[in-house]
C-alpha cells in the first residue's frame, strides 16, 4: 500500500511528456514569423505549443515538423514518423500538442484515423488555441473544428480553382511566365495591387531571334542553342538551381510553346493572351512545321559537301549521302549513294555516283536553265502586266475574306460561351478550335498577300529573274558556299537518276517564273551548247508561249507564290 502511495506521489511530481507537431502549407510560412491563424509560421506555432505545455505542467520532449505540406492528405513524412514514435513509446508519451486541429488534418476521415491511433496509444490530443479534451463536450468541439477545417480546405480549393478558371479563360498568365517574360506586381491608380507579365528586357530579344533564325530552316535546335548560349541567353535562377546557359532541351520547350505567339493554353483550350507576343503567328507556325518535318531527329553531317541536303534518289526518293571507297592502291574516291539502299530501308538498286560526276551534271543543269537577256525581258514584262490586271480582282476578294474572318471569329466566341455554359464538351471545343484556327490562318495569309505592295512583288520577281538569267556561269564560277546557297534558293530537290543524270524540282517561285517556257528554255540551251540554235526562232516561240500563258492574268496560287516565297540572296 505504501509503495503504491509513493508511486502515485512520484508520478504526480514527474512532468508529463509531450510531443509537439508543427505544420505549414508553404515554404514561405516556414521561414517567416507572425501572421494570421492560417499563416502562422513554424516559430510562431512552436512558441504557442511550448506555452501550452508549460501551462499543463508538461515538457516537450520531441518535435515533428512538416514544412510545406498540405493537411488534406495524411501522407506526410513527419506525421507518419510521429505516429510511429508514439506507437513505439506509448508508455512514455502523454500528449500530442498542435497549434490548431487543422494543423493535424483537414480531412475528416484522416482526423478520425489519427485520433483513433492516439487513443489506442493512450495519448491525449491537445490544441494550443482550442479547448478540446476527452470530455463529451471537448470531443464534440473537436469534431466540429475538424469538419470546419475540412470545409475551409475544400471551399478554398473551389475558390482558387474558380479564380484560376476566370483568369485562364480571360487570357491571363496563371503560373510562372516562361523564359523571356517576368511576373511583376503593380499598383493601379486606386492603390490596389495586381499581378501581370512583362517582357524580360535581357532575354526577350534573344528568344525572338531564336524563333526567327530557326524559321529559316538553316539551324538545328542543338546548334542554335549553342549560338544563343554564346550570345548570353541563360535560364532563370531558382533558390536551389543557379542560372545556366540555354541548352537543347530548354530551347526545344521554348520553340513549341504557343505562349510566345500570344496564346494561353488552359485545360487544353487556347485563349488569346493578355501578354505581349514575342513573335507573330506566321513565324511560330513556320517553326512548328520545321520541327514536325524533323521529327526523326536532327544531326550535323559527317561529310560536308555543298550538294548535301539537295540531292535525292529518283528511284526511291531517299536522300543521297556521301561515302568513301578506297581502291587497292590506297586512293580514296568520294561517292554519293542512296541512303535508302545504304541503310537497307528501301529495296533500291540505284548505283553510287562519283561526286565529281554529280558536280559536273549539276553545272550542266544550271546551264540549261540560263535565260537569254531578251527572253528575260519578255518574261518580266508579261508577268508585271499580268500582276497589274489581277489587282482589281484581289480587291474584290479582300472584302469577301474580311467578311469570312469576322464570321469565324464570331463562331469561336460562341463556342467558348457554349463551353462556359457546359453546353459542349471540351474535346469538341478543341476540335472546332483547331479547324477555326486553321481557317483563320489561311485567311490571314491571303490578307497579308493582298496587303503586299505591287512594287515589292515586282522587286522579288526581278530578283528571281536576276538569279537565273545567267545562272550557269554564276554557278560554275562560285565557291562551295555560294553554290550551296544557289541550290537552296532555286531547287526544292535535285534528283539523281540512273547513270548519274540529274534533274530538278524547282522552288515555288521559280516554278511560276519558268513555267510557261521551261521546256523551251532547256531545249534552246541544249542546242546553244551544241552550236545549233536560232535565237530569232526561239524568241518567237517563247513570246507566243508567254503571251498565251499570261494572257488571262496570274491565278491566285501563282500570286501566293510570288508574294510569299522570298528569293534568297547569294
Would residue 393 count as lying in a domain?
A: yes
* pLDDT for the residue 522: 74
Q: What is the mean pLDDT of residues 141-163?
A: 70
Measured between alpha carbons, how far is 444 from 450 in angstroms, rounded to an integer? 10
Query: What is the distance between the alpha carbons of residues 477 and 81, in angstroms, rounded to a whole number?
Result: 80
Check whether residue 437 and residue 543 sit in a common domain: yes
Q: Which of the pair, 306 or 390, is modelled with greater confidence? A: 306
Question: Who's near 506: CB < 8 A, 6+ residues apart?
Answer: 490, 491, 492, 514
Return the closest-CA partner of residue 568 out of 496, 459, 460. Answer: 460
Same-domain pairing of 377 and 437: yes
User: Residue 457 domain-assigned?
Assistant: yes
Q: Does the pLDDT at position 346 exceed 50?
A: yes
Q: Which residue has the higher pLDDT, 1 or 36?
A: 1
Residue 211 has pLDDT above 90, yes or no: yes
Percent of the chain with pLDDT over 90: 10
- Per-residue model confidence (pLDDT) at position 515: 66
* DSSP string for residues in 129-140: SS---SSHHHHH
pLDDT digits (tens, 9 = 90+) for 230-267: 888 998 888 788 888 999 889 999 999 999 998 888 77
Domain of residue 285, residue span = 207-293
171 backbone dihedrals φ, ψ, rounded to 5°: 85, 15
Give the end of a domain, one of 332, 353, 369: 369
If asked whether residues 381 and 455 sit together in one domain, one would say: yes
Locate 307 and state its grid cell. Answer: 550538294
Residues 30, 149: one domain?
yes
**Is pLDDT above 80 for 224?**
yes
Q: Is the pLDDT of residue 482 over 80?
A: yes
- Locate the DSSP E strands across 81-233: 95-98, 124-127, 181-187, 193-199
Higher pLDDT: 489 or 276? It is 276
280, 261 in Cβ contact below 8 A?
yes
| pLDDT: which is higher, 25 or 225 | 225
Cell numbers that stand for 104 in this block = 493535424
Range of lowest pLDDT (67-71, 104-108, 487-491, 513-517)? 67-71
Q: How high does pLDDT run on average in the chain? A: 78
Asked whether residue 320 falls in the same domain as residue 274, the answer is no
The answer on 444 and 352 residing in a single domain is: no
Same domain, 431 and 493: yes
Q: What is the DSSP letter of 312?
A: E
Q: Which of 359, 360, 341 is nearest to 350 (CA)?
A: 341
On whether residue 172 sits in a domain, the answer given is no
Pairing of strands 124-127, 353-354: unpaired
pLDDT > 70? residue 14: no
Higher pLDDT, 469 or 532: 469
Give the per-residue pLDDT at 160: 67
176 located within any domain: no
Residue with grid cell 534568297, as numbered in its chain = 568
pLDDT at 295 over 80: no
**pTM tops 0.85, yes or no:** no
Q: Which of 321, 304, 303, 312 is nearest to 362 (CA)?
A: 312
C-alpha cell at 459: 522587286
Instruction: Check whether residue 424 and residue 493 sit in a common domain.
Output: yes
Domain harbouring 97, CATH code: 3.40.50.1390
| Residue (of 352, 319, 347) closest to 335 by Cα position | 352
| pLDDT tens digits along 426-471 | 788 778 888 888 888 888 877 776 665 566 666 767 777 777 778 8
- Whether residues 140 and 159 fall in one domain: yes
Q: Enumerate residues 6+ apart whose C-beta is below 8 A from 510.
A: 464, 467, 468, 490
The DSSP H or E segment spanning 48 is: helix 42-55
Considering the domain architecture, whether residues 347 and 380 belong to the same structural domain is answered as no
pLDDT of residue 559: 47
Write out the H or E segment, with its range, that includes residue 270. Answer: strand 269-272
What CATH number should be reported for the domain holding residue 250?
3.90.1750.20
- Residue 388: Cβ within 10 Å count: 12
Beta-carbon neighbour count of residue 494 at 10 Å?
A: 22
Q: Is residue 191 part of a domain?
A: no
What are the respective helix, strand and coil percentages of the chain, to the nearest 5?
A: 55, 15, 30
Would you state the pLDDT for residue 300?
Answer: 47
Report the length, in residues, of the chain. 570
C-beta neighbour count of 302 within 10 angstroms: 9
Most confident residue range from 23-32, 54-63, 128-137: 54-63
Is 312's pLDDT higher than 90? yes
Number of domains comprising the chain: 4
**Is 515 found in the same domain as 493?**
yes
Flag whether 177 is in a domain. no
Does some domain include residue 178?
A: no
At 408 the pLDDT is 87
Measured distance CA(44)–CA(428) in Å, rounded: 51
Contact 245, 236 (CB under 8 A): no
Q: Is residue 46 part of a domain?
A: yes
Nearest residue to 387 via CA among 458, 323, 444: 458
Domain boundary, last residue among 229, 262, 293: 293
Q: What is the dihedral of CA 275, 279, 281, 283, to 10 degrees?
A: -170
Which pLDDT tens digit goes with each residue over 348-403?
988 889 999 999 999 988 888 887 777 777 777 777 777 676 676 777 777 888 88
Neighbours of 355 (CB within 10 A): 20
In this model, does residue 138 exceed pLDDT 90? no
**Are 342 and 418 contained in the same domain?**
no
Phi, psi dihedral angles at 193 (to 5 degrees): -85, 140
> Which range among 183-192, 223-232, 292-301, 518-527 has the greatest average pLDDT?
223-232
Mean pLDDT, rounded, for 330-355: 87
| pLDDT reported for residue 133 | 66
The domain boundary residue, chosen from 265, 293, 321: 293
CB 194 within 8 A of CB 186: yes
Amino acid at each position: 500500500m505504501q509503495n503504491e502511495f509513493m508511486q502515485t506521489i512520484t508520478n504526480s511530481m514527474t512532468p508529463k511528456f509531450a510531443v509537439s507537431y508543427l505544420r505549414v502549407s508553404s515554404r514561405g510560412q516556414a521561414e517567416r514569423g507572425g501572421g494570421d491563424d492560417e499563416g502562422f509560421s513554424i516559430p510562431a506555432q512552436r512558441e504557442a505549443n511550448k506555452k501550452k505545455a508549460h501551462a499543463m505542467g508538461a515538457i516537450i520532449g520531441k518535435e515533428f515538423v512538416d514544412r510545406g505540406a498540405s493537411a488534406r492528405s495524411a501522407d506526410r513524412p513527419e506525421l507518419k514518423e510521429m505516429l510511429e514514435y508514439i506507437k513505439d513509446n506509448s508508455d512514455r508519451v502523454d500528449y500530442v500538442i498542435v497549434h490548431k486541429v487543422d494543423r493535424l488534418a483537414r480531412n475528416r476521415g484522416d482526423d478520425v484515423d489519427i485520433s483513433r491511433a492516439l487513443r489506442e496509444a493512450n495519448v491525449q490530443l491537445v490544441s494550443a488555441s482550442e479547448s478540446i479534451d476527452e470530455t463529451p463536450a471537448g470531443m464534440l468541439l473537436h469534431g466540429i473544428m475538424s469538419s470546419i477545417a475540412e470545409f475551409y480546405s475544400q471551399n478554398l480549393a473551389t475558390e482558387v480553382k474558380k479564380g484560376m478558371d476566370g483568369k485562364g479563360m480571360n487570357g491571363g498568365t496563371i503560373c510562372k511566365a516562361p523564359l523571356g517574360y517576368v511576373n511583376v506586381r503593380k499598383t493601379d491608380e486606386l492603390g490596389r495591387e495586381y499581378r501581370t507579365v512583362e517582357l524580360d528586357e535581357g532575354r526577350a530579344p534573344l528568344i525572338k531571334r531564336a524563333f526567327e533564325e530557326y524559321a529559316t530552316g538553316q539551324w538545328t535546335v542543338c546548334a542554335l542553342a549553342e549560338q544563343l548560349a554564346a550570345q548570353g541567353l541563360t535560364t532563370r535562377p531558382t533558390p536551389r538551381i543557379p542560372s545556366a546557359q540555354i541548352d537543347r532541351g530548354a530551347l526545344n520547350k521554348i520553340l513549341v510553346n504557343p505562349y510566345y505567339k500570344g496564346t494561353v493554353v488552359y485545360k487544353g483550350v487556347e485563349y488569346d493572351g493578355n501578354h505581349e507576343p514575342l513573335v507573330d503567328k506566321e513565324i511560330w507556325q513556320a517553326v512548328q512545321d520545321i520541327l514536325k518535318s524533323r521529327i526523326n531527329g536532327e544531326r550535323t553531317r559527317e561529310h560536308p559537301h555543298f550538294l548535301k541536303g539537295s540531292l535525292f534518289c529518283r528511284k526511291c526518293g531517299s536522300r543521297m549521302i556521301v561515302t568513301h571507297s578506297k581502291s587497292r592502291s590506297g586512293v580514296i574516291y568520294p561517292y554519293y549513294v542512296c541512303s535508302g539502299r545504304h541503310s537497307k530501308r528501301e529495296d533500291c538498286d540505284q548505283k553510287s555516283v562519283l561526286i565529281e560526276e554529280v558536280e559536273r551534271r549539276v553545272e550542266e543543269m544550271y546551264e540549261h536553265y540560263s535565260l537569254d537577256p531578251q527572253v528575260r525581258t519578255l518574261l518580266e514584262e508579261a508577268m508585271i502586266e499580268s500582276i497589274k490586271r489581277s489587282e482589281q480582282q484581289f480587291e474584290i476578294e479582300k472584302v469577301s475574306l474580311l467578311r469570312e474572318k469576322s464570321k469565324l471569329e464570331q463562331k469561336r466566341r460562341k463556342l467558348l460561351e457554349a463551353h462556359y455554359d457546359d453546353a459542349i464538351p471540351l474535346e469538341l471545343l478543341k476540335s472546332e478550335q483547331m479547324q477555326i484556327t486553321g481557317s483563320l490562318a489561311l485567311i490571314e495569309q491571303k490578307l497579308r498577300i493582298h496587303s503586299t505592295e505591287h512594287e515589292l512583288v515586282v522587286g522579288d520577281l526581278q530578283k528571281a529573274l536576276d538569279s537565273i538569267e545567267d545562272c550557269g556561269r554564276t554557278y560554275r564560277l562560285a565557291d562551295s558556299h555560294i553554290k550551296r546557297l544557289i541550290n537552296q534558293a532555286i531547287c526544292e530537290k535535285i534528283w539523281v537518276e540512273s547513270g548519274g543524270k540529274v534533274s530538278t524540282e524547282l522552288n515555288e517561285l521559280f516554278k511560276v517564273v519558268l513555267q510557261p517556257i521551261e521546256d523551251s528554255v532547256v531545249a534552246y540551251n541544249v542546242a546553244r551548247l551544241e552550236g545549233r540554235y536560232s535565237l530569232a526562232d526561239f524568241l518567237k516561240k517563247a513570246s507566243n508561249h508567254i503571251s498565251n500563258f499570261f494572257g488571262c492574268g496570274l491565278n491566285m496560287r501563282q500570286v501566293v507564290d510570288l508574294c510569299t516565297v522570298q528569293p534568297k540572296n547569294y
